[in-house]
Structures are given as C-alpha cells and as structure tokens.
Amino acid sequence: MLNEQELQRYQRQLLMFDKEGQEKLKQSRVFIAGGGGLGCPIALYLAVAGVGCIDIADMDAVEQTNLNRQVLHWEKDIGKPKVLSIKEKIRQINPYINIIARHVTITEENVLELVRDADIIVDALDNFSARYLLNHASLQTGIPLVHGAIRGFDGQLMTIIPGKTACLKCVFPHAPPEEVFPVIGVTPGIIGTIQANEVLKYLLQTGEPLEGLLVWDGLNAKMDSFKIQRRNKCEACGDPDL
Ligand SMILES: [Zn+2]
C-alpha cells in the first residue's frame, strides 16, 4: 500500500494512472544489466517514478574516465563498485523503493538466475557478447528486454517481446568488434531515458511498445524508427527446422 508521503510524491503521476497504476509500479521489479552511462539514467528515472524494486548488476568500479557520462557516480565514488554508488544515491533520491546491488559479472552460468524474478530486463551494457546472454535469457524466460546502445552522439534502442517481436540476434546477428568507443554524456542520457520510458509503459500496460529499432542521430537531432521483421533463420529465436 502507498503511504501518505508516497501519495504526495507521486501526485502528478496519479493524475495520469491513478493509485492502481502506481501500486503496479510499486509491485514491479526491473533488472538492469549495467551501472554505467545507460544504467545511471535508467535507475534514476525508474526510482523517481516509484518502481518498487530495482535490481542492478555490474562488476566494475567507478573510474575517473566514467565521470563525463555516468551521472550517478561522482568524484568521491572513484574506486567504489558502481552498483554500491548507485544504491547510495537512489536511497537518498527515493527511500520508498528497494534497490538490489549485485557486484557480479553476467555470465552464461548466472544470467537466468539473475533475470528470473524480473518483470522486465534492461540492457544497459557496453558489449554485444553480454547482450546476447540477456537476449537468450529473455527468450528462454519470456521476460521482455529493452535494448539500448550508444556511440559518440549516436544511439539506438528496441523493445523485445519474446515470441512476438524480432530479437536482438535477428537485428544484429554478429557482434561488432569491442573497442573503447567515444561517447558524450548526453547520448546515454537520451537513450537511457527512453529505455526507462519503455519500461514504465510496459509495467503500466499503457501506450505502444517500441517494437522496431529506434535510432538517434544526435549531431543532426534526428530520430527514426524502423520496423524489424523476425528472421526465421535467427539462431536465437528462429525455427531450426526452417
Ligand atoms: Zn531472433
């Protein structure tokens, strides 16, 4: 049940989706893979919206080079595990929600266990090999996945509904080479915020999920979305007999 403070805190949202919707958010659990450039705005906006349980996994510690974009990590946090840095901030931002900080690497062995209890999974990672693990876990469990990725001023995202929409491997069958990529903080800010918007819509069952691929071109301030078909021969979600 929402207490008096929570009813006041979420007053402007209650004008949109009343107490029932807010209770739904409070009962929800979101798994965020990655506590970096995308993970920070995603955790922040889900927290202020009142998502009851934010479960976040990241193995890294905060470094000086992260501070141009990972807005929940501050100068004083250098050396601290990112998940603990995020937990500290989120607790101060919204004390009425629960945050689970997992200082782990996502592997083939632990991924199903990590996502199992989530209502929705968010990809806030920086490499495709780990993203494919999330995609596989999403397909295996039937839990939707909101993918996001960034580079420089460019970003992309898509919402994957297992069994219905294209999966990550339908669109990106091969991982691009890993690199130390350029990035400016506004890009994960924009993409991460839209990912959080996708999560909130899904939890509230409102609006239409972004089932195609949305591409953000920051230098030209252009956003396009493309319809994506499932590939019958996709090695992750296709039919092996075809
Ligand atoms: Zn697929």
Q: Is 40 exposed, middle or buried (0-12, 13-18, 19+ CB in 10 A)?
A: buried
CA of 62 to the centre of ligand 1 (A): 34
CA of 160 to the centre of ligand 1 (A): 10
CA of 5 to the centre of ligand 1 (A): 44
Are the beta carbons of 209 and 159 closer than 8 angstroms?
Answer: yes
Domain count along the chain: 1
Structure token pair of residue 162: 């297992």
What DSSP designation does 17 have?
Answer: H
Within a domain: residue 8?
A: no
Quote the CA–CA distance of 38 and 79 in Å, as a whole number.
Answer: 19
pLDDT digits (tens, 9 = 90+) for 17-50: 999 999 999 999 999 999 999 999 999 999 999 9
Within a domain: residue 234?
A: no
Within a domain: residue 240?
A: no
Residues 6+ apart with CB under 8 A from 12: none
CA of 170 to the centre of ligand 1 (A): 4
Average confidence (pLDDT) over 210-219: 95
Within a domain: residue 23?
A: yes
Q: What is the pLDDT of residue 148?
A: 98
Q: By residue range, what is the domain housing residue 182?
A: 17-226
CA of 131 to the centre of ligand 1 (A): 13
CA of 125 to the centre of ligand 1 (A): 19
Within a domain: residue 233?
A: no
CA of 143 to the centre of ligand 1 (A): 15
CA of 40 to the centre of ligand 1 (A): 28
pLDDT digits (tens, 9 = 90+) for 58-90: 999 999 999 999 999 999 999 999 999 999 999
CA of 171 to the centre of ligand 1 (A): 7
Within a domain: residue 164?
A: yes
Within a domain: residue 3?
A: no
Number of residues that make up the chain: 242
Lowest mean pLDDT among 161-165, 210-214, 220-224, 236-240: 236-240
Residue the block writes with tokens 């009343």:
18
pLDDT digits (tens, 9 = 90+) for 105-153: 999 999 999 999 999 999 999 999 999 999 999 999 999 999 999 999 9
CA of 46 to the centre of ligand 1 (A): 28
CA of 237 to the centre of ligand 1 (A): 4
CA of 212 to the centre of ligand 1 (A): 13
Are the beta carbons of 72 and 94 closer than 8 angstroms?
Answer: no
Within a domain: residue 42?
A: yes
The sheet with strand 98-102 has its strands ordered as: 98-102, 53-57, 29-33, 120-123, 145-151, 154-160, 213-217, 222-226
CA of 159 to the centre of ligand 1 (A): 13
Quote the CA–CA distance of 101 and 90 in Å, as a whole number.
Answer: 11
CA of 102 to the centre of ligand 1 (A): 28
CATH number at residue 154: 3.40.50.720
pLDDT over 90 percentage in the chain: 95
